[in-house]
């Protein structure tokens, strides 16, 4: 408690907005160990409870504090198959539940410590390539996002012969084709996939699989980890205009461009020289903002239909040790953006088939006398926000699944609806346990 929380922070805005390199910086190892010393090894570590993977932060923080990076990595990877992903993109549920957060709102820097331990482990050769003994049984994993990769890793370690199928050209799911490079450099995914391949997992990319009875019969078990492919649309007049896109259209295309894929001028979606309106106030929207800045947008506005969240750090509706749903400013917001709440979208406006603006309406939410969802009421007059590019970032539908043979298991966002990388990893790992139990019962 004598050492203040120190975050590594982001690269300066004027520097980072001109490239897609990771925005987050790193501390030197002396300061990192000092940060690890802040973990108090509480009698009741709420971080264990809050982390969906049950990561043992007090244990690896202690090893890190003592300078034993190898032990720190061993402890960390005993519960987390891919700490290099969560170390970069996890919203750190553990930190919100940290006793220090309750005490003085300066929780231990678990997420950054996790990333530092993992990068050191890779650099120093502490990340082993393991060769498990085969048990003669075959499992297919459909979907190579974090949940599919976690299920595959876990099953492979149990001795199953695992083939991972993905409809995309490379593994990673939303890690590769959703989350922008400025949050997660794709070389980090390649580095892990290389290890998984050396450990015996076969990857079959560019293969869209329908998990019917014939497919399932070819394997002892099948894990479906296909995520949430259907995004929420906004079916208001003008939706067909050129310039209205789903968030993932621009995000995945930008990530592909950075991977060297070429698109024709007609196919390319870019914010360059445009007023951009992002509809949806969540994290996907924030990723659109950062992407639009880097592509050279003239201006970026983000609107959200729900009210502005309360200012933190405490959330009276969701107190410690729960995750606070408070007002959040991401690195992309810091880079510049007009943010508005309680705004409903009425119509997309255009000329010659091209988007020129969006007619919106300020609203209010009134309590519903019959209970349930509050009632939306209009406030003032509709207005027009000038925009040549609209990005719809309003979330994804939870898919329906039914009628699979009994050797088929579902995990990750496909099972639970849109969530977080850390939850996808935990769900993939749990699916592997279920498969193993099923095949050994």
CB of 196 to ligand SF4, least distance (A): 19
Look at residues 112, 72, 123 and name the one whose alpha carbon lies nearest to residue 88.
Answer: 112
Question: In angstroms, rounded to a whole number, what is the distance separating the alpha carbons of residues 290 and 283?
Answer: 11
Nearer to ligand FAD, 79 or 284 (CB): 284
Distance CA 375, CA 126 (A): 56
Q: Give me 409's structure tokens.
A: 């298991």
Give the interface segment with ligand SF4, choosing from 15-23, 49-57, 126-134, 323-331 (CB under 6 A): 49-57
Q: How far apart (Å, rounded) are the C-alpha atoms in residues 338 and 329?
A: 12
Q: Is 149 in the site for ligand SF4 (CB under 6 A)?
A: no
Residue 187, CA distances (Å) to 85, 98, 192 in order: 11, 31, 9
Give the SS3 label for residue 354.
strand
Instruction: Please state, in angstroms and rounded to a whole number, the distance separating the CA atoms of residues 245 and 39.
Output: 44
Site for ligand FAD in 291-310 (CB under 6 A): none
Tell the smallest beta-carbon distance from residue 398 to ligand SF4 (Å): 22
The minimum distance between CB 228 and ligand FAD, in angstroms, equals 6
Choose among ligand FAD, ligand SF4, none what residue 324 binds, the Cβ cut-off being 5 to 8 Å by kind: none
- Return the number of the residue (124 or 194) whose C-beta is nearest ligand FAD: 194
Closer of 48 and 274 to ligand SF4 (Cβ): 48
144 versus 425: smaller Cβ distance to ligand SF4: 425
Site residues for ligand FAD, 52-111, by CB under 6 A, read 89-90
CA-CA-CA-CA torsion sign (159, 161, 164, 170) = positive
Does the protein bind ligand SF4 through residue 64 (CB under 6 A)? no
| Contact in structure between 412 and 427 (CB atoms under 8 Å) | yes
Pattern 386-425, binding to ligand FAD, x per CB under 6 A? --------------------------xxx---xxxxx-x-
Choose which of 17, 23, 64, 90 interacts with ligand SF4 (CB under 6 A). 90
Residue 349: in which H helix or E strand, if any? strand 343-351
Instruction: State how far the Cα of 34 lies from the Cα of 199, in Å rounded to an integer.
Output: 35
CB 431 within 8 A of CB 411: yes
> How many amino acids of this chain bind ligand SF4 (CB under 6 A)?
14
Q: How far is CA 75 from CA 55, 57, 126, 369, 385, in A?
A: 9, 9, 12, 52, 51
Q: Which does 92 bind (CB under 5 to 8 A by kind): ligand FAD, ligand SF4, none?
A: ligand SF4
430 sits near ligand FAD (criterion: CB under 6 A)? no
Q: Which does 165 bind (CB under 5 to 8 A by kind): ligand SF4, ligand FAD, none?
A: ligand FAD
Q: Give residue 219's region: left, alpha or beta (phi > 0; psi -120 to 50).
A: beta
As a whole number of angstroms, the distance between CA 185 and CA 172 comes to 12
243 binds, among ligand FAD, ligand SF4, none (CB under 5 to 8 A by kind): none
226 binds ligand FAD (CB under 6 A): yes
Q: Mask: binding to ligand SF4, 8-47, rule CB under 6 A, as x and -?
A: ----------------------------------------
- The mark string for 96-135 relative to ligand SF4 (x by CB under 6 A, - otherwise) is --------------xx--x---------------------
- According to DSSP, the residues that pair with 163 across neighbouring strands are 140, 202
Q: Are 386 and 41 in contact (CB under 8 A)?
A: no
Binding site for ligand SF4 (CB under 6 A): 51, 53, 55, 57, 80, 86, 90, 92-94, 110-111, 114, 422
């Amino acid at each position: 408690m004598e050492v203040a929380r120190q975050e590594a922070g982001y690269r300066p805005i004027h520097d980072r907005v001109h490239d897609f390199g990771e925005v987050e910086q790193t501390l030197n190892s002396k300061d990192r160990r000092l940060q690890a010393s802040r973990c108090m090894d509480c009698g009741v570590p709420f971080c264990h409870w809050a982390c969906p993977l049950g990561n043992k932060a007090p244990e690896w923080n202690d090893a890190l504090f003592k300078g034993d990076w190898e032990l720190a990595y061993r402890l960390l990877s005993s519960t987390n198959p891919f700490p290099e992903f969560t170390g970069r993109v996890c919203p750190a549920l553990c930190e919100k539940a940290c006793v220090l957060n309750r005490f003085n709102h300066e929780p231990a820097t678990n997420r950054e410590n996790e990333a530092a331990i993992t990068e050191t482990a890779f650099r120093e050769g502490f990340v082993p390539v393991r060769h498990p003994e085969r048990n003669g049984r075959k499992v297919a994993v459909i979907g190579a996002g974090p949940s599919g990769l976690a299920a595959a890793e876990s099953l492979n370690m149990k001795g199953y012969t695992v083939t991972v199928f993905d409809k995309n050209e490379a593994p990673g799911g939303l890690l590769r084709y959703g989350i922008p490079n400025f949050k997660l450099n794709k070389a980090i995914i390649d580095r892990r996939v290389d290890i998984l391949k050396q450990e015996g997992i076969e990857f079959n990319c560019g293969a869209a699989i329908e998990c019917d009875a014939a497919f399932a019969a070819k394997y002892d078990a099948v894990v479906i980890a296909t995520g949430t492919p259907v995004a929420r649309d906004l079916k208001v007049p003008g939706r067909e205009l050129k310039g209205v896109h789903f968030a993932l259209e621009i995000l995945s295309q930008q990530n592909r461009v950075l991977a060297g894929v070429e698109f024709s001028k007609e196919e390319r979606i870019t914010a360059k020289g445009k007023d951009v309106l992002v509809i949806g106030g969540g994290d996907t929207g924030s990723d659109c903002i950062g992407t639009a800045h880097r592509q050279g947008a003239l201006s970026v506005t983000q609107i959200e239909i729900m009210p502005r969240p309360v200012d933190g750090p405490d959330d009276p509706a969701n107190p410690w040790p729960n995750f606070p749903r408070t007002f959040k400013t991401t690195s992309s917001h810091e880079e510049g953006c007009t943010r508005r709440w309680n705004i409903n979208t009425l119509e997309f406006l255009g000329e010659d088939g091209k988007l020129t603006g969006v007619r919106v309406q300020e609203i209010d939410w009134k309590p519903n006398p019959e209970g349930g969802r509050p009632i939306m009421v209009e406030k003032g007059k509709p207005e027009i926000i000038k925009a040549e590019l609209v990005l719809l970032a309003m979330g994804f539908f939870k898919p329906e699944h039914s009628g699979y043979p009994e050797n088929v298991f579902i995990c990750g966002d496909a099972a639970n609806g849109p969530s977080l990388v850390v939850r996808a990893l935990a769900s993939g790992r749990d699916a592997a346990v279920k498969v193993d139990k099923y095949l050994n019962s």
